[in-house]
Structure 1
Amino acid sequence: RNCFRGYQGRSEMEEKMNSKERIKMVLAHQEPDRVPIHDGPWGATVARWHKEGLPDGITPGEYFGYEMVMFGADTSPRFPIKTIEKTDKYIIQTTSTGATNKNFWDHTSTPGLIDRPIKEKQDWFPIKERLEPDYTRVDWVSVFNNYHAAQSEGKFICYAGGYGYDVLQAYIRSDQLLVAMVDDPEWIKDMIMSLAKLMIEMAKMMMEKGLKFDAFFDYNDLGYRNGLLFSPETYRRTHKEADTMVYSFFHQHQMPVLLHSCGNVKEIIPELISVGLDCLQPLEVKAGMDLIELKKQYGDKLSFMG
C-alpha cells in the first residue's frame, strides 16, 4: 500500500507567506497563513517511509515541505574517530568526544554506550583545553552552499547547538553525571559553561562571515516519561548561568530561542521562561505534555512546537 500516494504537496501559488515569515509570526504570538511544518524523523522511520511509498531520492523534508534549516559548528574536543569493530549488523566506533558507541546499521535503536572519556573529575581538564574556537570547526563550503539554498527558498534558518546535560552524556556516563550534578555542581557548571562559551564564539564567527540566523535552536533533554531527570534546584546550580548567558547573547542579536527537550519537563518551564526561552519542543504526549494545558498556562510567554 502506498501511504504517500494521496499527498500532492503544496503549490507555491497557494502560499501567502514563506517559511521565514510564517515562523517569525508564530514566535511573535501572531497567527500566520497556516501552521508551520517541521520534523526530525529517525533514519529507521525514513527507511520505512520509503518502503511505504516515499519516492526514492526524496527526503521527508522535500516531500512535506519542512520549513526550518539548521546550521552549526563542531564544538567537540575533536578526538580522532576510530572503528573498533564492524559487522553486517552494527559498528563500534570512538567519537569526537572520546566516547565509544555501538550503532546498529538499521538505526532501530539509540546507540549502545560502551565507554566515556571522563571517569573522574581530573579527566575533564585535558578535554577542556581542547575546547577552543577555531575556523576549522565549520565546514564552510557545505555551510555556505546550503545556506544560500535555504535563503533562496525562504526557509527559517537556525543556528543549532547544545551544551548542557544532554551533551555532557557524551563525556561521562549518565549515572555518574547525575550524581556529580548533586555532589559537585560547580564542576558540572564549569563543563556546561565551557561548552556554552565555545558555542557562542562559533556563532559569532559564523555571523561575522555573513550568515544571518533567524533563531537559536538549543537541544537539551531534561526529562523522561515520568518527569525531570533532575530537580529544578539542580538545574539552577548547574545550568541556569549558562542558559542565561547563551539566551541573552542570541536575544541581543534579535534571535528567539527554541529548545528541544524530551520527556515531561513541565516542572521546569518557569525556570526556562526566566532565562529567556521563547519556544518549547517537542511536547511529548506520552510523557504528559498536554499542549492545551500548556497553552492555557504559558501561552502568553511561550510558543509551542511538536
Structure 2
Amino acid sequence: MNGRERILTSLDHREPDKIPFDLAGTTWTGITKTAYLRLAEFIGKAENEPEWADVIQQIVIPSDDVLKILDVDTRGLFPLTSHNWDVFNRLEDAGNNWVYNDEWGFTHHFPKENGYWFSIVRHPMENITPDPLIIQAYNWPDAINRDRISGLNEKAVRFREQGKLVVLKGICAGIFEMHQRFRGVSNALVDPFLYHEFSDLMIGKIADIKIEFWKMALSELADVVDVIAEADDYGTQGSQLIGPDHFRQFYKPHLARIIKEIKISAPHSKIMFHSCGNVRPLIPDFIEMGIDILNPVHISASGMEPYRLKRDFGKDIVFWGGGVDTQKVLAYGTVRDVADDVKKNTDALGPGGGFVFAAVHNIQAEVPPENIMAMWKALNKL
C-alpha cells in the first residue's frame, strides 16, 4: 500500500498493512521550527529556513527529504490566511515584542527573548457595548480571494502522484475560538446569555465566512483532496470550556451548517475535526453532524482514555492522533518512556483500523530529536 491507500483503508475502518503515520499534514499534527531544525540536523538533513505552515504557532513544513526518510503518509495544503500570509512584512517593532496586526483585527505579540509563538494581546470587540450594528459594519476578511488557494491544486496533484493522502486546512480557527478572539474569553462565555442577538450574529457571520471560503476553495480542490480539516477547541484538561447544552444551543447549529456545506462541496472527502481537551460528551454530536475524524485525541485529558474511546465510538469515528502524549512524555520522558507510550496507545486505538498515528498535538520546541525518532521507531516496530 502507498500512504494514501493506507489511510483511506483506515478511514474505512479496516486495518491497512501498517498503522498510517501523519506528521505535518495539519497545523495540529505539525512540528515547530525549533524542534524541526534540530530533528533535521539529527537525521543528517540540516536546513536553515523551512517553509512556514503557520507563523503564529511557529509550525513549519518539513522538507521532502525529511518526509521521505520518515515515510510520512500525509501531505498538507495550507491556504493563505492571517497565520501565514505576509506576516513578516507586517511586523512592527515594539521594544520587547514584535507586533502583528492580522486581517481580522487581532493584535499578536511575539517576545523577542525566549518567545515560542505569537499570542493575541488585543481583542477588537472586547470593550465595546454589544450591538448587532457593529457586526454588520465590521471590516471582515475577504474569504473568496482566490489568492488564498493559489498553487494548491498543483501541489495536491503532485502529492497524489507521490502516493500521499492530501489534507486541506481552512481559513481560520473555529467559531467558538474566533468568538473568544473578538470578545476575549470572559465575554465570549457570557455573551450568548446576556447579548444573544449580538452573539448569534457574530457566530453566524464567522460561520458564513468559513462557508464562503470552503465553497470557493472546494470548487477548485474538491477532486484532489482527501480530508478537509476544521476545528474548534471545546475541551480543557479536566472538562469542557462550555457545557454540552451550551454548545448544542449556541454553537452546534452553526457548526452543523459548515459541515453540511463542506459535504455538499466535497462529497467524496472525509471531514476531520480538531478539538482539544476532554470532548467526550460532545463526540456523539460530532458524529451526528457528519464529522468523520476526531483530532487530536487528547489522551491525557480526563475522559479521553484511548481504550474507552475506541470501545465506545470506534465504529463511528476515526481517531487521528493520540499516538503519544506531547505534554509530558514526548517532551520530558526518556526514549523508553516514549516507546512504551506509543505501544500502549496504538494497542488501544489501532485494532480494526479507524486510526491514524500522530502525536497528540504539535511537537513543541523543547522536544528532543531523540524522542521524536524514538516515537517513529516504536511505531515502525508494530
- What residue is the counterpart of 2:174 in the other structure? 163
CA distance in 1, matches of 2:190, 2:67: 40
Could you tell me which amino acid in structure 2 is paired with residue 66 of structure 1?
V
Q: CA deviation at 1:75?
A: 6.6
Secondary structure at the counterpart of residue 235 of structure 1: helix
Q: CA deviation at 1:232?
A: 0.8
Contact 1:159 1:215 in 2 (8 A): yes
2:74 aligned with 1:65? no
Contact 1:250 1:256 in 2 (8 A): no
Give CA-to-partner distance per residue, 1:72-123, whole Å, 9 cap, x none: 54577x9998433256x74122112111111246885443322111123344
TM-score normalized by structure 1? 0.81
CA distance in 2, matches of 1:54, 1:180: 52
2:136 aligned with 1:146? no
Change (3 A) 1:137 1:227: farther
CA distance in 2, matches of 1:210, 1:139: 9
CA distance in 2, matches of 1:178, 1:298: 29
Q: CA deviation at 1:285?
A: 2.3
- What residue is the counterpart of 2:371 in the other structure? none
Which residue of the other structure, out of 124, 141, 144, is the alignment partner of 1:134? Answer: 144
Aligned-residue CA RMSD (Å):
2.9
Deviates more, 1:104-113 or 1:31-40: 104-113
Change (3 A) 1:52 1:219: same
Q: CA deviation at 1:20?
A: 2.0
CA distance in 1, matches of 2:81, 2:91: 21
Q: CA deviation at 1:218?
A: 0.9
Question: Hey, which bits of structure 1, 4+ residues long, moved more than 6 A?
Answer: 78-81
Q: CA deviation at 1:138?
A: 1.6
Identity among equivalent positions (%) equals 21
TM-score normalized by structure 2? 0.66
- What residue is the counterpart of 2:121 in the other structure? 114
Change (3 A) 1:107 1:305: farther
- Written as runs of structure 1 = structure 2, the 5 A alignment for 1:1-306 is 17-39=1-23, 40-50=30-40, 52-53=42-43, 55-57=45-47, 59=63, 61-71=67-77, 73=79, 82-85=90-93, 90-104=97-111, 109-119=116-126, 120=128, 121-122=130-131, 123-127=134-138, 130-140=140-150, 142-161=151-170, 162-209=173-220, 211-212=222-223, 213-252=225-264, 253-288=267-302, 289-306=304-321
Q: CA deviation at 1:38?
A: 0.9
Contact 2:203 2:254 in 1 (8 A): yes
CA distance in 2, matches of 1:199, 1:208: 14
Secondary structure at the counterpart of residue 45 of structure 2: coil
Change (3 A) 1:192 1:102: same
CA distance in 2, matches of 1:98, 1:177: 17
- What residue is the counterpart of 1:9 in the other structure? none
Q: CA deviation at 1:282?
A: 0.9
Unmatched 5+ residue regions in structure 1?
1-16
Contact 1:166 1:221 in 2 (8 A): yes
Higher RCO by CA contacts (8 Å cutoff, separation 6 or greater)? 2
State the aligned residue count: 286
Q: CA deviation at 1:281?
A: 0.9
Contact 1:192 1:242 in 2 (8 A): yes
Secondary structure at the counterpart of residue 227 of structure 1: coil
Unmatched 5+ residue regions in structure 2?
24-29, 48-61, 322-382
Contact 2:146 2:216 in 1 (8 A): no
Q: CA deviation at 1:193?
A: 2.7
